[in-house]
Structure 1
């Protein structure tokens, strides 16, 4: 690129990545290959780089942006820029790498890291991260929220009577039906074994208990068939706690867990705070 950021050289790899022939793109601004929202700051970025003593952006300083192909499709790229002086004039070289496969691989790993394989719900790792984030929002902005702790009643008896494959079906059915009751913004996760946990943003205790009771009622109406086509019913006990100024991420989970045990000790298939 020249000092005005017009493309002077467009090699074969660039043609393959972007879908343009060199004849189509030579003399055009490099911003033509960028997503529109990145174009406005490009001029200032290049000016600062041109006026600095740095000759090239090293590997650590690479900037990842969304580039645009000839057909309008967007894809993530890494760009490393160097500057050279030819006959007293500054020119620039941009090494561009399509990192679509790398990003997809990272997203796949993140999904695997944060997802419970059996139920498809979020797992404890993901929930803990979200709880930290929403508790920080509470302390900064006062956005209240509640935590619901679930435990499937007498689940060991289901496994002992019908076998673990049927127990797995019960867990999957619970996850499916509970997701139908809560909002999209709510976060439901498998806490471990037959225990689940939910995070309800912008929700006070009374409303959270109403949600919990709707879940409890929905679950009590569900049936899973055993291998002998025998109907298997199940219920859930739920503990509810609202985050307070004295709470942290550990104490709010403990209070929800304590409420859960009160629900179970009072007869199961109940909601308690």
Structure 2
């Protein structure tokens, strides 16, 4: 028995196939996210317009080339094994709620963060992998900008009390796990209200900035100096016992006495700082260590200012 297809029906069927193909191509090329397909040999088969914008390659430059060209060097060697593992797994795709953030590499060699989902499908008996990729570098940069604003003092550029509290909690955890000693220094600029009242707040700001710059230069890179509030500053000194903290504090105190700040009327102003030092012990917590350093600083004040106390 011979079954025939009317020519007009055949043309209509072909037209529908062409329409579906055009619709698929249109969706791929206008998608917001990059869409890349590769075979089991890791050769790129499809590279849409968004992928061109993300990676800087034209489709004709990259199709047929290994997918590893889009990865930083350190990830290339392990990618084949990862692909094979995914090919043999029962998982067909990673859903959008489980997007993974990794690093990718543009044509110019620059690394940038992406979110990626991967699915697999057999086409004419051959396995293919399709990745949907989103460039999140702007989002990450914005988040980092917000985090910096949240954790940074605008006047001095130092970390603020919020960040200090977080770091102090981390130091306490390290102490509890590894018995790593650390100390806290509390600084208070002497007679700062008098400076503000006599020379104005702009001059007071200059004094705070000069102290911040000088004290930070005299601390190690591993130390944290933060503005605690007003004219008060605080520092965490990792791997430091009380004697070492006292030496560091004394070095800062002496250097501060040599600073000269000019007022708005070009008057020469000098200032001093009182410093309290405390070493964390097993009996302490986040409140007591700060309180101990604060009390030591007030003892320095009561002893005549411009000195260090424990």
1:141 corresponds, among 175, 178, 193, to 178
The answer to whether structure 1 residue 2 and structure 2 residue 39 are counterparts is: yes
**Is 1:223–2:293 an aligned residue pair?**
no
Question: In structure 1, which of residues 202, 218, 227 is the aligned counterpart of residue 239 of structure 2?
Answer: 202
State the distance in 1 between where 2:53 and 2:214 align.
47
Alpha-carbon separation, structure 1, partners of 2:112 and 2:306: 50
Report the CA distance between 1:53 and its aligned residue. 4.0
Deviation at 1:241, TM superposition (A): 0.7
2:162 is the alignment partner of 1:125 = yes
Distance in 2, matches of 1:64 and 1:30, equals 17
The structural deviation recorded for 1:161 is 1.3
What whole-Å deviation, never above 9, does each CA across 1:10-46 have from its counterpart, x for those lacking one?
1222222222222332222222211122234433433
Question: Is 1:269 aligned to 2:306, yes or no?
Answer: yes
Who is 2:28 aligned against?
A: none
Larger Rg belongs to: 2
- C-alpha RMSD over aligned residues: 1.6
Q: Which residue of 2 aligns with 1:59?
A: 96
CA distance in 1, matches of 2:287, 2:141: 33
Name the counterpart of 2:127: 90
TM-score with structure 2 setting the length: 0.83
Please show how residues 142-181 of structure 1 align to structure 2 within 5 Å.
142-181=179-218
- Aligned partner (choices 56, 60, 63) of residue 23 of structure 1: 60
Would you say how many aligned residue pairs link Structure 1 and Structure 2? 273
Aligned-partner SS, 1:8: strand
| Worse-superposed segment, 6-15 or 257-266 | 6-15
Partner of 2:283: 246
Q: Distance in 2 between matches of 1:10 and 1:54?
A: 24
User: Whole-Å Cα distance in 1 between the matches of residues 65 and 134 of structure 2?
Assistant: 20
Distance 1:229 1:182 in 2: 30
Q: Is the 8 A contact 2:117 2:131 kept in 1?
A: yes
- Offset of 1:119 from its aligned partner? 0.8
Give the corresponding residue for 1:106. Answer: 143
Q: Distance in 2 between matches of 1:225 and 1:15?
A: 56
8 Å CA contact 2:219–2:248 kept in 1: the answer is yes
Which shifted more, 157-166 or 115-124?
157-166
Q: Which moved more, 1:132-141 or 1:166-175?
A: 132-141
Q: List alignment gaps of at least 5 residues for structure 1.
A: none
